[in-house]
Amino acid sequence: MNGSMTALRARIDDFWQQRSAQERRTLLLAAVAVVLMLGYQFVWTPIQQAAQRESARLAAAQDLAQFSARARGVLSRATPVAAPQSGTNLPPMLWVEQAARKMGIQDALIQRQPDGDDRVQLKFAAVPFETLVQWLMQAHAAGLSVLRADITPQNGDAAHPAGRVDASLVLSRANES
């Protein structure tokens, strides 16, 4: 192995000595350019990409923090809800339809799916967050409980003003767990 390295080094030295001064300068400049390009590709580019990913994560965390602060404000202004009324005999699906119409969010309720007699799965799109919270408080007062809630804030733009959310919910009668 050592002999092959010595032979390789001798061949490189011979090659180098056979070049003119101008060729040696050109080869040195080319070697420096290759080292710089490799450094950019394998060092700088991954650092930039990692910084961009972290910047995007920070922006998402800040958006979530702002959404949470708005949600805390809405919940703190909300009126207390009375204890659930055990006498509500409406099936959850029927109550959902009537309450959504009454609150004016029937158009935002894009999917309704009964899950047995006492459960219903719902999807809302671009529903005002405050209205959704009030609607959920009414559901609680009517004896319904939220088994699952996935609420995603929408980015405010011209088509969807700020303060709107997409939500997937599963409601059931409060006595069911």
Q: Which tens digit of pLDDT belongs to each residue from 19-33?
A: 999 999 999 999 999
Question: What distance lies between CA 67 and its chain's CA centroid?
Answer: 12
Model confidence at 90, pLDDT cuts 50, 70, 90, reads confident
| Beta carbons of 122 and 112 less than 8 angstroms apart | yes
Q: Are residues 69 and 96 in the same domain?
A: no
- Domain assignment present for residue 143? The answer is yes
84 lies in a domain?
no
Residue 18 belongs to a domain: yes
Maximum CA pair distance of the chain?
Answer: 101
85 in any annotated domain: no
Q: Which of residues 77, 103, 133 is at a domain's end?
A: 77
- For the chain, the average pLDDT equals 86
Amino acid at 96: V
Q: Residue 121 in contact with residue 157, Cβ under 8 Å?
A: no
Q: Which one-letter amino acid corresponds to residue 134? A: Q
Tell whether 82 is covered by a domain.
no
Domain shared by 65 and 98, yes or no = no
Domain contains 104: yes
Confidence of residue 87 (pLDDT cuts 50, 70, 90): very low
Last-in-domain residue among 77, 104, 126: 77
Assign residue 150 the CATH number of its domain: 3.30.1360.100
